[in-house]
Amino acid sequence: MIIIAKELHAYTITNAIDDRNVLSFHIDYFGEGHNSKKQKSESLPTDAVVKEILAKHDAVTNHRRFNAVLATASINHAIDYVEEFKIQQEQQQVEYQNLTPLNIVCVFSPPAQRGAKDKTNSDNSNVDKNSKDIKQLQEDLPQEKADNQVEPEKKKEALKEIIANYNQQYGTNHRINEFDLYYQDVQQRIKDQKYSNAGFPHKNKIDIVIVVDMLLTGFDSKFLNTLYVDKNLKYHGLIQAFSRTNRVLNDSKPCGNILDFRGQETGVNAAIELFSGAAKNRAKEIWLVDSSPVAVKNYQKSIETLDTFMQEKGLDCSPSEVANLKGDIARAEFINHFKTVQKLNTQIEQYTELSDEEQQHIETALSIEDLRGFKSAYLEIAKDFKRKQDKDGEGIEIEVQQLDFELVIFASAVIDYDFIMGLIAKSTQDSNKEKMTRKELINMISSHANLMEESEDIIDYINSLKVGEKLDENQIRKDYQAFKADKTTNELNTLATKHGLQPQTLQDFVGTIINRMIFDGENLSDLLSPLELGWKDRVKKELALMKDLAPHLHKLAQGREISGLSAYE
């Protein structure tokens, strides 16, 4: 007897997107020039595509917070792209001397060949193994396998040069005869993109990797958000390639970005329909994020909602009025309203096809200056609420306890400590075209979450600079560290005087805590013992001292946890 089983449910990519297990896509179809859209799967000149990518890359990757893959039609095509990126970026370096070039790498499988007869047996063994590995690898790389049948030596020499340039860029020592190690290194660097350049500098990262077949299936990285497409894709291959970009990370990555240079909108629609199962009638709605006109309208609406909220509180909708919100519940409401504004702003900033009219609507809805001002106000409230949450939420409203500040959407991949030190130095130079005023610098620093813990010190340092005094970046860095050390010493001396302690004794007490990242209650008792207080008065003194000292310790800890401190807050 034959039993025919009925399929209960086919879990498609449409279901996965709908369930938020993977992201939706934002797709731009580019044609010749900036205003026409191709629909014939035709290729554009390589130089035109590179020019477009260089113009769009920072926006689409959220200022290099993420990285990208460029899918090309053949190995020769990929080699051409390597050369064209080199030419155009060298030209850009001449025109814009302060521009940091994109780190471009390329990976394609080498021709599988046996070693030459004059090699040692050991060398021949390694080459034979490499050749077998490559043959096995190419079973899943049909285009590369076919390409390597034509002029294999030419492709081999090109790949050798690509690997040599990679070694020079990253300080590695890869060889074509150990191709798999090179391929693994490329994959790992894509995954190591992360946000901050502090622990892993940009020079070690990959901005764009040029491929033919590789990395378009099976490879996952949360820090890959963009696919540039200059090859014909369809159905399963198209879905697989697009899906490299849509792994969920956080709200700084609202979607996977696809920039198609072959005008394949018809093919995309066909693939969406084919792989949508029972949800065909709403597949495009699920698969694709809002178009730019819709996204801009949503952004305008979120600002109108914020304006209504402020008006209901009897305040104008301006950054300076946020400080006048009364009560934690009202401030929590502001956090939620402006967080929506910032999420939509983050999404729109990654759109590459905004018209001049849409750009004007965005600026009219909320100026850049006001946006920065609201960010600054948001971060000030977030800093205060986070301190309250860190005390186990005791004595605070439930609305504050449950707040998720999602600070990642307020952090910048570009505006970090090094960037700010450079800008401060430039601000002291009279003739520098990139010079910013002190007010502009302070607004920028105040509006980015990754500088939140140190912003107060940096701003105080900027305000301490003498007008007209020219300083280079090295001097700025040195002076700032000295300024910060002096400020810390002065603050502790003030605390010591206030609480009747010897300044040096308090300095030593704090130094021990920060060196060990442990708060020891016995040391606190020893600190207060010279005051010869009874136990009731000593408890009052401990509470009063720790109320003043705890924020100072958190600041010195720079986000690290001090074990045992929470019990004394």
Is 403 inside a domain boundary?
yes
Query: Are 365 and 284 part of one and the same domain?
Result: no
Is residue 403 pLDDT above 60, yes or no? yes
Q: Tell me, what's the pLDDT at 338?
A: 95
Q: pTM of the prediction? A: 0.77
**Which pair of structure tokens corresponds to residue 371?**
């946006």
Q: Which long-range contacts link 529-537 to residues 24+ away (Cβ below 8 Å)?
A: 530/501, 530/502, 530/505, 531/500, 531/501
Domain final residue, candidates 231, 264, 289? 289
Task: Give the residue, 436 or 124, on which the prediction is more confident.
Answer: 436
Query: Are 301 and 285 part of one and the same domain?
Result: no
DSSP secondary structure string for all residues of 57-95: HHHHTTTTTSEEEEEESSHHHHHHHHHHHHHHHHHHHHH
Confidence of residue 113 (pLDDT cuts 50, 70, 90): low
Is 175 inside a domain boundary?
yes
Integer angstrom CA distances of residue 155 from 144, 149, 213: 11, 10, 15
Q: Are 231 and 73 in contact (CB under 8 A)?
A: yes
Listed residue (155, 20, 137) closest to 74, CA to CA: 155
Query: Are 419 and 439 part of one and the same domain?
Result: yes
Query: Are 167 and 123 part of one and the same domain?
Result: yes
Measured in residues, the chain has a length of 569
Q: Return the amino acid letter for 112.
A: A
Write out the residue range of the structural domain in which residue 369 sits.
293-461
Cβ-Cβ contacts under 8 Å for 167 (sequence gap 6 or more): 173, 174
Query: Are 283 and 406 part of one and the same domain?
Result: no
Parallel/antiparallel/unpaired status of strands 67-72 and 224-230: parallel
Residue with tokens 């696809």: 258
pLDDT tens track for 421-475: 888 888 887 665 556 788 888 888 888 877 777 888 889 999 988 887 888 888 8
The CA-based angle 50-55-60, given to 5 degrees, is 105
Is 507 inside a domain boundary?
yes
pLDDT tens track for 213-256: 999 999 999 999 999 999 999 999 999 999 999 999 988 899 99
Task: Give the residue, 306 or 394, on which the prediction is more confident.
Answer: 306
d(CA 12, CA 17): 9
Is 149 inside a domain boundary?
yes
Query: What are the φ/ψ torsions at residue 126 (nearest 5 degrees)?
Result: -65, -40
User: What is the rounded average pLDDT of the residues 524-537?
Assistant: 85
Task: Give the residue, 2 or 148, on which the prediction is more confident.
Answer: 148
**Which pair of structure tokens corresponds to residue 215?**
């990395």
Domain final residue, candidates 262, 289, 316? 289
Query: Are 451 and 557 part of one and the same domain?
Result: no
Domain count across the chain? 3
Domain final residue, candidates 289, 319, 348? 289
Query: Are 238 and 124 part of one and the same domain?
Result: yes
Query: Are 244 and 299 part of one and the same domain?
Result: no
Is 525 inside a domain boundary?
yes
Is 476 inside a domain boundary?
no
Query: Are 300 and 440 part of one and the same domain?
Result: yes
CATH number at residue 141: 3.40.50.300
Query: Are 282 and 339 part of one and the same domain?
Result: no
DSSP helix/strand/coil, 427: helix
Residue with tokens 């500098």: 201
pLDDT tens track for 33-57: 444 444 455 678 999 999 999 999 9
Is 456 inside a domain boundary?
yes
Query: Are 212 and 256 part of one and the same domain?
Result: yes
Is residue 9 pLDDT above 70, yes or no? no
Q: Are 226 and 259 in contact (CB under 8 A)?
A: yes
d(CA 295, CA 285): 14
Least confident range from 94-103, 160-169, 342-351, 551-560: namely 551-560
Query: Are 267 and 380 part of one and the same domain?
Result: no
Listed residue (301, 257, 222) closest to 25, CA to CA: 257
Is 177 inside a domain boundary?
yes
